[in-house]
Chain A
Amino acid sequence: MASIDTPVRPGRRSFTGRRLRPADALLQGVAAIAATSAAVLVGLIAYKLVRDAWPAISRYGIAFVAHDIWDPVANHYGAASFLFGTVLTSVFALAIAGPLAIAIALYLTELAPRALRGPVTALVETLAAIPSVVIGLWGILVLGPFLAHHVEPWLHSALGFIPLFGSPSTGPQSIFTAIVVLTIMILPIVASICRELFLSVPRELKEGALALGTTRWEMIRAVVFPYARGGIAAALILGFGRAIGEAIAVTQVVGGGTIIQANLFSGGDTLASKIAASYQGADSNIQVAALIYLGLILLVFSLVVNLLAQWVVRQFGRGQGAVSRASARVGATA
């Protein structure tokens, strides 16, 4: 699976229109099979989800999405609170992780002393290798209590007039803890992609800008960002996708509960964490179907996000146009 659109370099010709040699034919065949199998897999998953969720779909219909109840004893199910929790946690996690990750990537490519770049890059990437269950455990035992006793009361007293920062939680679990855990989990992904992007900015453009007398910050703003912004948008969306789908770590720290409230310091639940928490122990067929219905909603939700992402990438990164606009701007600033 391709991860990122870097701007298409001119001068690269496509395979089509040329006489196929055996090696080319083989490459084309293998690549086509790989691409098709990914598409087929998504199709099969969607089919399986719809089929297994059918008892719940036919029983609750689309209104399932709007009900905020989850009562396995009376068999009343709805997805609203989980959808709300998924949006809340992933949007906030992205809002915190995005700027941080871009700053890390900038530091590692443009600002840090050369001796630091290697080790720090390695450390940031190691962060991505920590298993979610370990991050979740650390979330309950270390991060959660710290947030509950120090950060949340401080945010509440400073920003308490905003409903989001309501009364602090009493224990280590809250939506807020989940947001911070997700932030930590998506940070290395976004940071390392952005680092690669910034490294791919042609040296002559950067040096040209500096030669024209820009400061380092002006150069970054006028050359690096415009050149990489399509890629940055894609990296952010990739991080967002990770945040939406993360299950285990969130299950451990989010606290659960089906009450929709604005307070970030209260408990909540997300689609993925509800599935992870309840699937094994589900003891009625309709509950299993309702959980799979949640999975289907998650699939549709991430599909929508993906389409939106492609649109955003197309809006932002118009190939080399960005770079020429950038050079024009450098000229203007100078």
Chain B
Amino acid sequence: MKKSLSFAAVLALVAAVAAGMSAAAGARSSDTTITGAGSTFVSPLVQTWQQPVGGALGVTLNYNPIGSGGGIAAITNRTVDFGASDAPLSPDQFSACKGCLQIPWALAATAVLYNVSSVKNLLHMDGPTLAKIFSGEITKWNDPAIVKLNKGVSLPDTTMTTVHRSDGSGTTWNFTDYLSSVSPAWKSKYGVGTSVNWPAGTGGRGSAGVSAVVSQTNGSIGYADVAFALKNHLKYFAMKNSSGKFTTPGLRGILAAASSDQKPDANNALSIVNPPKKFANAYPISTFTYVIVPETSAKAPELKKFLFWAVTKGQTFGPKLLFQPIPKPVLVVAEKTIKKIHT
């Protein structure tokens, strides 16, 4: 009895912490195996790559979708061969990562989900209203701001429940990046991050958690990567872009958004949320997602082979999952960066 209680509690605590650490640590395995960890957003795409990569390149690909933050930590500690993140590395993270390269390797969008049982129509939404909803300033579905966007739809007097990710997530980064770009108030109060100080609403664990809560809550509104939303038959908004057009997160909308920024900066970061007016078909919550690799790697030949394949042949697996193949100018930059990897 003496030790048992504190010991039991400690075990529970250790289990909680260790679950995080061991997942992040992964395993450094034999030479023909490439191990990666990070973004859950990109994981459906990476999973479809495992089989063909094994066949075409003779390389075994392991990927552990532990979240973008975890992926950055894992590659910084060199416990994996590559990390994956939806948020580009911050300058601090770059210097901590010591000689890391960041390569845009996939392109997709975040869908804004909703569940109002009495409404069958496809609903419209714009950025400033969305920011107010997630700030807790708009709390009813029949608020004038929403009614104005959805003329002719009878909206109920249902309370809105916002649902966000309770774990750190690249999807949250993309979503809050968008809210910050359309709402100065959001930017100054809550900002952009893989997790932020949500002023209202409830949190679900992972995209699965968010979708479970959204589907169980009448009047809810949440967000998830579009592949996930599609697979789970969740309803999502047509979002108003800068040109005033309402667009859904389809391939066309994502491609149009991607064409707004084709010049990666010195660190290969690209910003395509809320693109300017002239990209009339753009879906405004689109994002590139990145693979992060060390410039010097013991597995450089295999890693290069895999990454070249991923940004070329690998992209053809994308559209089925609503990942738009990366545009040519970005591909050129990506290939140039991949060439820098050496042993």
Which positions in A face B, CB cutoff 8 Å?
A: 1-5, 35, 38-39, 41-42, 45, 69-74, 76, 137, 140-141, 144-145, 170-173, 234, 237-238, 241-242, 244-248, 251-252, 255-258, 267, 272, 275-284, 292, 295, 298-299, 302-303, 305-306, 309-310, 313
Q: Please name 19 further chain A to chain B contacts, defined as beta carbons within 8 Å, in addition to the given A72-B168, A303-B6, sorted by A numbering.
A: A3-B4, A35-B3, A45-B14, A72-B197, A73-B191, A74-B191, A76-B197, A140-B209, A171-B216, A173-B213, A242-B12, A248-B16, A257-B202, A267-B201, A275-B17, A280-B66, A281-B167, A295-B17, A302-B10
With beta carbons under 8 angstroms apart, the residue of A3, A252, A278, A295 that contacts B195 is A278
Minimum CB–CB distance from A57 to chain B (whole Å) comes to 17
A140 touches B67 (CB 8 A): no
Residues of chain B touching chain A, judged by Cβ–Cβ distance below 8 Å, are 1-17, 19-20, 23-24, 66-70, 72-73, 87, 92-93, 159, 161, 163-164, 166-169, 190-198, 201-205, 209, 212-213, 216-220
Contact A281 B70 (CB under 8 A): yes
B211 CB → nearest A CB, Å: 10
Residues of chain B lying within 8 A (CB to CB) of residue A282:
69, 73, 168
Decide if A247 touches B217 in the complex (CB within 8 Å). Answer: no
Contact in complex: B168, A299 (CB < 8 Å): no
A3 to B205 CA separation, bound complex (whole angstroms): 33
Residue of A237, A238, A278 with most chain B CB atoms under a 10 A cut-off: A278
Residue in chain B with minimal CB distance to A38: B3
Inter-chain contact A140/B216, CB cutoff 8 Å: yes
Question: B163 is contacted by which of A171, A247, A280 (Cβ under 8 Å)?
Answer: A171
Please, how many angstroms separate the alpha-carbon atoms of A76 and B190 in the complex?
12
Q: A35 — which chain B residues lie within 8 A by C-beta? A: 3
Q: List 20 A-B contacts (CB under 8 A).
A: A2-B1, A69-B197, A73-B192, A170-B217, A171-B161, A173-B202, A173-B204, A173-B213, A245-B11, A245-B13, A252-B209, A257-B201, A277-B203, A278-B195, A280-B67, A284-B92, A298-B9, A299-B13, A302-B5, A302-B10
From residue B176, how far is it (CB to closest CB) to chain A in Å?
8
What B residues does A299 contact at CB under 8 A? 6, 9-10, 13
Chain A residues in 8 Å Cβ range of B5: 237-238, 241, 302, 305-306, 309
Tell whether A171 pairs with B69 under 8 Å between CB atoms, given A42-B7, A252-B205, A276-B19.
Answer: no
Q: Does the CB pair B166–A256 fall under 8 Å? A: yes
Q: CA of A255 to CA of B69 in the docked complex: distance in angstroms?
A: 21
Once A234-B1, A281-B194, A282-B168 are accepted as A-B contacts, the answer to whether A256 and B14 lie under 8 Å apart by CB is: no
Contacts of B164 in A (CB 8 A): 256
Question: What's the Cα separation between A54 and B1 when bound, in Å?
Answer: 31
Which chain B residues border A42 with CB–CB below 8 Å? Answer: 3, 6-7, 10
Q: Do A242 and B203 have beta carbons less than 8 Å apart? A: no
Asked if A277 and B197 make an inter-chain contact with CB atoms under 8 angstroms apart, the answer reads no
Q: Assess whether A1 is in contact with B7, with CB atoms less than 8 Å apart.
A: yes
Q: How far is the CB of B286 from chain A (nearest CB, A)?
A: 21
A266 vs chain B, min Cβ distance (A): 9
The residues of A that contact B73 with a CB separation of less than 8 Å are 282-283
Partner of B4, one of A2, A71, A137, A257: A2
Given B16, B66, B190, B216, which contacts A247 in the complex, CB threshold below 8 Å?
A: B16
Nearest chain B CB to A70's CB is how many angstroms away? 6
List the 3 closest A-B pairs by CB distance, nearest first: A281-B168, A245-B12, A256-B203
From B12, B92, B196, B220, contact of A72 by CB (8 A)? B196
